[in-house]
Amino acid sequence: MFRYLPYVAGALLFCATPALADSDAPAPLAPAVQSFVRYSAPVIAIKHVRVIDGTGAAARESQTLVIKAGRIASVGPDAAAAVPAGAAAIDGTGRTIMPGLVGMHDHLFYLVGDQPVGHAMYVSFPRMYLAGGVTTIRTAGSMEPYADLNLKRAIDDGRVPGPHIDVSGPYISGPRSRLYMDIPRTPREVTEAVNYYADIGVTSFKAYAFVTKASLAALITAAHKRGIKVAGHLCSVTFHDAISLGIDSLEHGIEVATDFDAGKQPDICPAGKEHSETLRRLDIESEPVRRLIEELVSHHVANASTLAVYETGAPDRFPPQQRMLDSLDAQARLDYLATRNEILADKNNPSGELLKKEMRFERYFVKAGGLLMAGADPTGYGGSVAGFADQRNLELLVEAGFSPEQAIKIATANGAQFEGKLASIGTIATGKNADLVLIDGNPAANIADVEKVDTVFKDGIGYDSAKIFKAMEGQVGRQ
């Protein structure tokens, strides 16, 4: 309960602040938000900066970008820039500006160790997504939809720092689901759940691994009637069947496709061990995989890449980053490290090999014209943490063979396109929201520079990334 007290305090302060008359002016920010703000001038000019615009185009050097009233007023070569008098200037020399990330699988809860229930992260995660450069998230399945909706309102009202949020409804699953999932049992109950949650503000849904085909069909039909898209982390239903039902996006790529499992029974999720053997044998270059990719693309089914959480399962990869370990509270760190040690000890762990396969699948999917997006998915056993994992995804997409500019497009414009928001976010262009990331470095030359975030602009307000991450040390797993 105590974790909600800051919101109450914020709300009281918010009410005591006189509203501004100008409707274009941003909502007044509560002190809890203001304390992380570095730039809030009404007009800001970032000069001599490198621009990676999110369209996949090559980085452009020596640009000037002007932010006015929360939007991008202009962007172009320094020499041609018309900087309004009185603009606050930021020297962008040696720096890069890119669109804010659109995290398409960015939960507001955190799973660590082998615990059956996620921890609600209503303090640390919204702040850390923002600090990591993520200015919009889709929660891709919710553990606590009411809290997610209330958090979204608190952020939109300027009471709490965080990204724009597309709140997903409760996971629609089936028998044997996880503890925190709502489990509508019949197609009729699914339809009722969709309408109820759509009425109270949910804007996306996700089906989970144990959903039946009949329930998935009801989910998609009811959601589409409300203009809402459906994502699926599938298992009991094959990709082929979900595509024919009209699903909008599939999460996690080929690793969760059960289309190739021999003896797959309708509505039954194959045992994990058998499925992993199937994946091990699966030839990504084979005709059946090529046909599945074609089917996904021709039905406009997007895919959300979650390479960062996959990587945490592979013993031959990474040591975990110090900044990630520093973000965990004592118990979460113990749980995380204990599970990691078990993974390291397992000589037959296939995760490294499967990660490489998933990377190849994603390359082929994009080559065939598929819409690939990206998200942190802070689950697994705790190594994927809000903000850090979104950045790590970009590095892994480049390792998969995408150019840095393509990887950035996947994590920005592609998510915005799927969300139907490309007119206002996702790329850098005049008139769009000033949702931007200012980086101390050049991700076009070295993608790991995406970790060097200086300032994250959301609606033209610049937040101090390092200050937020510092404030959240020891908080993940706790609040």
Chain residues in the site for Zn ion (CB under 5 A): 377
Measured from the CB atom, the residue of 377 and 449 that comes closer to Zn ion is 377
Residue 204 CB, nearest distance to Zn ion (Å)?
Answer: 13
What crossing angle do the helices spanning 272-281 and 351-367 adopt, rounded to 10°?
60
Measured from the CB atom, the residue of 310 and 457 that comes closer to Zn ion is 310
Torsion of CA 144, 124, 422, 306, to 10 degrees: -80
From 3, 134, 7, 128, select the one nearest 470 (Cα to Cα): 128
User: Rounded CA gap, 402 and 362, in Å?
Assistant: 10
From 308, 304, 253, select the one nearest 282 (Cα to Cα): 253
The residue behind tokens 């509508």 is: 184
Measured from the CB atom, the residue of 381 and 457 that comes closer to Zn ion is 381
Residue 105 CB, nearest distance to Zn ion (Å)?
Answer: 6
Residue 375 CB, nearest distance to Zn ion (Å)?
Answer: 8
Residue 307 CB, nearest distance to Zn ion (Å)?
Answer: 13
List the structure tokens of 394. Answer: 């970009």
Measured from the CB atom, the residue of 7 and 109 that comes closer to Zn ion is 109
List the structure tokens of 344. Answer: 């390291």
The residue behind tokens 């059956």 is: 116
Number of residues in the chain: 479
Residue 162 CB, nearest distance to Zn ion (Å)?
Answer: 19
The residue behind tokens 């005049």 is: 430
User: Rounded CA gap, 203 and 201, in Å?
Assistant: 6
Residue 110 CB, nearest distance to Zn ion (Å)?
Answer: 11
Measured from the CB atom, the residue of 139 and 442 that comes closer to Zn ion is 139
238 three-state secondary structure: coil
Residue 141 CB, nearest distance to Zn ion (Å)?
Answer: 6
Residue 379 CB, nearest distance to Zn ion (Å)?
Answer: 5
> Residue 96's beta-bridge partner residues?
50, 439
Dihedral angle sign, alpha carbons of residues 104, 109, 111, 112: positive
Residue 306 CB, nearest distance to Zn ion (Å)?
Answer: 7
Measured from the CB atom, the residue of 410 and 438 that comes closer to Zn ion is 410
User: Rounded CA gap, 138 and 260, in Å?
Assistant: 29
User: Rounded CA gap, 336 and 345, in Å?
Assistant: 14
Q: In what order do the strands lie in the sheet with 249-251?
A: 204-207, 229-232, 249-251, 302-305, 372-374
Burial class, 403, CB count within 10 angstroms (exposed 0-12 / middle 13-18 / buried 19+): middle
Measured from the CB atom, the residue of 158 and 380 that comes closer to Zn ion is 380
CB-based closest residue to Zn ion? 377
Q: Which residues, including other chains, have CB under 8 Å from residue 265's CB and lie 6 or more apart?
A: none
Residue 175 CB, nearest distance to Zn ion (Å)?
Answer: 19
Measured from the CB atom, the residue of 329 and 377 that comes closer to Zn ion is 377
> Residue 110's beta-bridge partner residues?
119
Q: Which residues, including other chains, have CB under 8 Å from residue 126's CB and lie 6 or more apart?
A: 108, 151, 155, 160, 161, 162, 163, 165
Measured from the CB atom, the residue of 60 and 178 that comes closer to Zn ion is 178
Measured from the CB atom, the residue of 354 and 468 that comes closer to Zn ion is 354
From 419, 412, 424, select the one nearest 166 (Cα to Cα): 419
Measured from the CB atom, the residue of 377 and 419 that comes closer to Zn ion is 377
305 torsion bin: left (phi>0), alpha (psi -120 to 50), beta (else): beta
Residue 251 CB, nearest distance to Zn ion (Å)?
Answer: 6
